[in-house]
Amino acid sequence: MLQFKQPILYTFRRCPYAIRARLALLHAKMNVEIREIVLRKKPKEFLATSPSGTVPSLRLEMTVLDESLDIMKWALSQNDPTNLMKMPEYGFDLISECDGNFKRALDRTKYPNRFPDADPAKSRDKASVFLYKLENILSPNLFGANMSIADLAILPFVRQFAHIDQVWFYDQDWINLIKWLDSFKQSSEFNKIMTKIDPWQVGDTPVMFSDLYWS
């Protein structure tokens, strides 16, 4: 009987969806194989695994998880040593808002050439509505002193938005939001999962989470 190999995560280093998946896998101490993908040249092995052709995608023994939040939930259902899943149900509402209206406004702010009918300034204002909602919740994290899955799921997108125009972002009066984001960017967990690795190719020696991120 063949033994199942370790789960395989297809990822792209800078993608916020992939970032949050890697964060959850790291917190859960799940030792998966990691394969960095070049999005403009997706290998056929990845496309055969991912129904959507998007990252992140986690191949398990009997199934494929093709959504970042599903990967987060799966990882933390296996092991949740810091109780990231302990939060009000409202936390999932915030994640849905982040992935919906906020991400839509973020994209129209960051990529005006892709959305010629959208006004980047108005899109930035729409995105800011969600950020001010977070500002009023944070203390210092979304649900108190401890991080939750909502913090890990939303922070990569706040980071992406902040990097559109960092001078403007840090000039706003969302003090709690800035502290929250800066603490995240300075954390050992974030810096570990942002380690650069070479794009995966067929025949490469497997690169494991334990090789890169565990210390």
**Rounded Cα distance, 182 and 165, in Å:** 15
Tokens 């939040």: give the residue. Answer: 69
Query: Residue 147 has what pLDDT?
Result: 98
List beta partners, residue 33.
Answer: 8, 208
Considering the four listed CATH numbers 3.40.50.970, 3.40.30.10, 3.40.50.720, 3.30.230.10, the one that applies to the domain covering 8-81+191-212 is: 3.40.30.10
Query: Residue 88 has what pLDDT?
Result: 97
More confident residue, 135 or 211: 135
- Tell me what the mean pLDDT of segment 114-135 comes to: 98
- Location of each CATH 1.20.1050.10 domain in the chain: 90-190
Q: In what order do the strands lie in the sheet with 33-36?
A: 33-36, 8-11, 57-59, 64-65
**Rounded Cα distance, 53 and 45, in Å:** 11
Question: In this model, does residue 193 exceed pLDDT 90?
Answer: yes
Q: 45-54, 75-84, 121-130, 145-154: which range is least confident on average?
A: 45-54
**Rounded Cα distance, 38 and 105, in Å:** 25
> What whole-number percentage of the chain has pLDDT above 70?
98
Kindly provide the b/e burial profile for residues 146-161, where b requires at least 16 CB atoms within 10 angstroms of the residue's own CB.
ebbbbbbbbbbbbbbb
Domain 90-190 has CATH 3.40.30.10: no
Instruction: Provide φ and ψ at 15, rounded to 5°.
Output: -65, 125
- Location of each CATH 3.40.30.10 domain in the chain: 8-81+191-212
Which pLDDT band, with edges at 50, 70 and 90, does 153 fall under?
A: very high
Which pLDDT band, with edges at 50, 70 and 90, does 1 fall under?
A: very low
Which amino acid, 212? L
pLDDT digits (tens, 9 = 90+) for 11-56: 999 999 999 999 999 999 999 999 999 999 999 999 998 888 999 9
**Rounded Cα distance, 129 and 132, in Å:** 5
Query: Is the CB of residue 122 less than 8 Å from the CB of residue 90?
Result: no
**Rounded Cα distance, 135 and 212, in Å:** 33
